[in-house]
């Protein structure tokens, strides 16, 4: 059942092969049995999920036929969910139970989806490895010594490990695409403004965008259909009408012009990863696409530009966490100043504090023009590179990441090493374009992803190309070993083990407790979301 596509699951529900309650229970059992290996969930809402599944079964029995009706999914723990703790991976929000739903959560509930729980992530989405969570690191289902990428690493790991057929993610500088690549799944960051940001805990408001994560482009299309659309409560939401993203999936690729930016295939790209990317591109060529050499000359500047704009906006957004209205408050504050400064010292992790400080500096009197305004100007140059390229090509393709997943702790000592991980994804957010990562095979047993970058609001074409590639290949059907490998241990646990044998001893039915966090043991982590 866990290998079925969403369309197949939906058919099974409509034909009464199984009920949504049975389907939901099977996923909850799987999470309970296996998530001790991955730590992909922060909160599992068993009662809420079973109630939602029962409601979906009632709607199904009444003859309703929505494509997501009765389908379980997981939400990144950045989307506010009324009555269910929304931590954003931070001690600051460890006690935060939102009084309202994110628009994305509302839309998906109305579509009849069943929320299994909330997935782990880098604190406030600031990272590329999902190691900076207050609830401990997420582990890659393909190898437990490796990171799943970040910041939507819990969502990516949960989908890859078949703990949920669908998950939501958010992407500020690569946070959907990079973990999708590292975990061997498909993930799409829509055009800025396509998916509502209301109730999505804000990191960098001119870059943040929610999107779908699933095993295939076809499943991502179904999820995006329900997520996308104008929201009057989000002042930057686009009023353009939403297409049906499933309709155009079968369109042939003949004559599609795909640009290959030479800056994405330079010295920084791991050679074996480059081979996988070229093999995927050769397949697209066989399907009728025309590959065109292009240049995006300002690519290298996307890192410094991003690391001014994102921290500047973060420092503003995160000023709301003051220990007064909700979230963490320090014990026995001496005065109001002590309440603010100590609540923020104790509630935020190291990378979050660093970014707030960098952003505060970049926005402070005397530095605004040299940093923030300058970065906004270079941001336009970066976008103009893409717009110029799109005069010659319909789409741009390249690697999602410079290489496969790195090991836990490998980039911990220096935030700058983590920042370089996102060199191929940051510019897409700066330009507000849609970008997608699709599996492109394995390098030493670890997945890598092909990134497809589209013109503004051309998500349907990206999903079409992803789907055609997945009809002609089986990279997206490769399954990580159950339980995940670990160095020196070979295969951790075999599929033959009973759920009870696989069950982690510390399993808690609802909320995961914070990780042990002795300050001296915590490696500082960084990176783009």
Partner 1 sequence: MTIQQDEIEKIAELARIRIAPEEAAELTSRIANILTLVDQLQAIDTAGVEPMANPLDAVQRLRADTVTEANQRDVFQAIAPAVENGLYLVPKVIE
- Catalytic residue positions, numbered: 76, 151, 175
Q: Which is nearer to partner 1, 133 or 305 (CB)?
A: 305
Q: Which of 266, 328, 263, 323 is nearest to 294 (CA)?
A: 263
CA-CA distance, 428 to 425, in Å (whole number)?
A: 6
Q: HEC profile for 313-381?
A: HHHHHHHHCCCCCCCCCCCCCCCHHHHHHHHHHHHCCHHHHHHHHHHHHHHCCCCCHHHHHHHHHHHHH
Q: How many CA atoms are closer than 13 Å to the CA of 361, on its beta-carbon side?
A: 9
How is residue 44 written in tokens? Answer: 């599992």
CA-CA distance, 101 to 109, in Å (whole number)?
A: 10
List of long-range contacts for 361-365, beta carbons under 8 Å, 24+ apart: 362/308, 362/311, 362/312, 363/312, 363/315, 363/316
Q: Which is nearer to partner 1, 377 or 471 (CB)?
A: 377
Coil, helix or strand at residue 53: helix
> How far is residue 315 from each of residues 98, 352, 360, 485, measured CA to CA in Å?
22, 9, 6, 39
Report strand pairing: 257-261 vs 72-76. Answer: unpaired
Q: How far is the CB of 447 from partner 1 (least distance, A)?
A: 29
Q: How far is the CB of 199 from partner 1 (least distance, A)?
A: 14
Count of Cβ atoms closer than 10 Å to residue 273 Cβ = 22
Q: Which is nearer to partner 1, 27 or 340 (CB)?
A: 340
27 in Cβ contact with 72 (< 8 Å): yes
Q: How far is the CB of 96 from partner 1 (least distance, A)?
A: 7
Question: Cis ω on the peptide bond leading into residue 353 (within 30° of 0)?
Answer: no
Q: How far is the CB of 285 from partner 1 (least distance, A)?
A: 30
Q: Which is nearer to partner 1, 295 or 493 (CB)?
A: 295
Q: How far is the CB of 333 from partner 1 (least distance, A)?
A: 5
Question: Kind and range of the H or E element at 292?
Answer: strand 290-294
290 in Cβ contact with 260 (< 8 Å): no
Q: How far is the CB of 397 from partner 1 (least distance, A)?
A: 21
Q: How far is the CB of 202 from partner 1 (least distance, A)?
A: 15
Q: Which is nearer to partner 1, 25 or 374 (CB)?
A: 374
Centroid of chain to Cα 367: 33
CA-CA distance, 53 to 70, in Å (whole number)?
A: 6
Q: Which is nearer to partner 1, 56 or 204 (CB)?
A: 204
Q: Which is nearer to partner 1, 86 or 216 (CB)?
A: 86
Q: How far is the CB of 339 from partner 1 (least distance, A)?
A: 6
- For 236-283, give the DSSP string: T---SPPP-TTGGGG---TT-EEEEEGGGGSTTS-HHHHHHHHHHHHH
Q: Which is nearer to partner 1, 30 or 456 (CB)?
A: 456
């Amino acid at each position: 059942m866990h290998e079925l596509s969403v369309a197949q699951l939906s058919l099974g529900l409509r034909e009464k092969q199984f009920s949504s309650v049975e389907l939901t229970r099977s996923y909850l059992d799987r999470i309970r049995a296996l998530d001790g290996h991955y730590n992909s969930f922060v909160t599992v809402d068993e009662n809420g999920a079973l109630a939602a599944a029962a409601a979906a079964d009632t709607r199904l029995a009444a003859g309703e036929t929505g494509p997501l009706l009765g389908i379980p999914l997981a939400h990144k723990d950045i989307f506010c969910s009324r009555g269910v703790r929304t931590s954003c991976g931070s001690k600051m929000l460890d006690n935060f139970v939102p009084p309202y739903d994110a628009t994305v959560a509302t839309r998906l509930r109305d579509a009849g989806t069943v929320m299994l729980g909330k997935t782990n992530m880098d604190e406030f989405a600031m990272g590329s490895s999902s190691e900076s969570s207050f609830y401990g690191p997420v582990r890659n289902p393909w190898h437990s010594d490796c990171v799943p990428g970040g910041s939507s690493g819990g969502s990516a790991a949960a989908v890859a490990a078949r703990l949920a057929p669908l998950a939501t993610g958010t992407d500020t500088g690569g946070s959907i695409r990079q973990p999708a690549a590292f975990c061997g799944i498909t993930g799409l960051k829509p055009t800025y403004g396509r998916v509502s940001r209301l109730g999505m805990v804000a990191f960098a408001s001119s870059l943040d965008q929610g999107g779908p994560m699933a095993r295939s482009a076809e499943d991502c299309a179904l999820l995006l259909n329900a997520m996308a659309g104008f929201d009057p409560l989000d002042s930057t939401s686009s009023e353009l009408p939403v297409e049906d993203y499933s309709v155009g999936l079968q369109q042939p690729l003949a004559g599609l012009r795909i640009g290959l930016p030479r800056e994405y295939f330079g010295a920084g790209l791991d050679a074996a990863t480059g081979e996988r990317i070229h093999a995927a591109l050769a397949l697209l060529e066989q399907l009728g696409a025309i590959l065109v050499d292009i240049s995006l000359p300002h690519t290298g500047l996307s890192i410094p530009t991003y690391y001014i704009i994102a921290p500047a906006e973060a420092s503003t957004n995160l000023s709301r966490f003051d220990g007064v209205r909700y979230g963490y408050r320090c014990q026995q504050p001496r005065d109001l100043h002590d309440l603010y400064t100590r609540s923020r010292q104790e509630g935020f992790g190291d990378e979050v504090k660093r970014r707030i400080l960098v952003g505060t500096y970049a926005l402070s009197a005397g530095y605004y023009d040299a940093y923030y305004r300058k970065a906004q100007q270079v941001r336009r140059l970066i976008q103009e590179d893409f717009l110029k390229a799109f005069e010659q090509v319909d789409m741009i393709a390249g690697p999602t990441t410079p290489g496969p997943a790195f090991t836990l702790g490998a980039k911990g000592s220096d935030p700058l090493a983590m920042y370089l991980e996102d060199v191929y994804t940051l510019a897409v957010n700066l330009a507000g374009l849609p970008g997608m990562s699709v599996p492109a095979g394995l390098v030493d047993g670890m997945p890598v992803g092909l990134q497809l970058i589209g013109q503004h609001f051309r998500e349907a074409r990206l999903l079409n190309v992803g789907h055609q590639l997945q009809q002609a290949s089986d990279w997206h059907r490769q399954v990580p070993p159950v339980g995940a490998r670990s160095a020196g241990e070979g295969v951790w646990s075999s599929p033959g083990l009973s759920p009870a044998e696989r069950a982690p001893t510390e399993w808690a039915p609802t909320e995961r407790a914070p990780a042990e966090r002795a300050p001296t043991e915590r490696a500082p982590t960084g990176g783009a979301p």
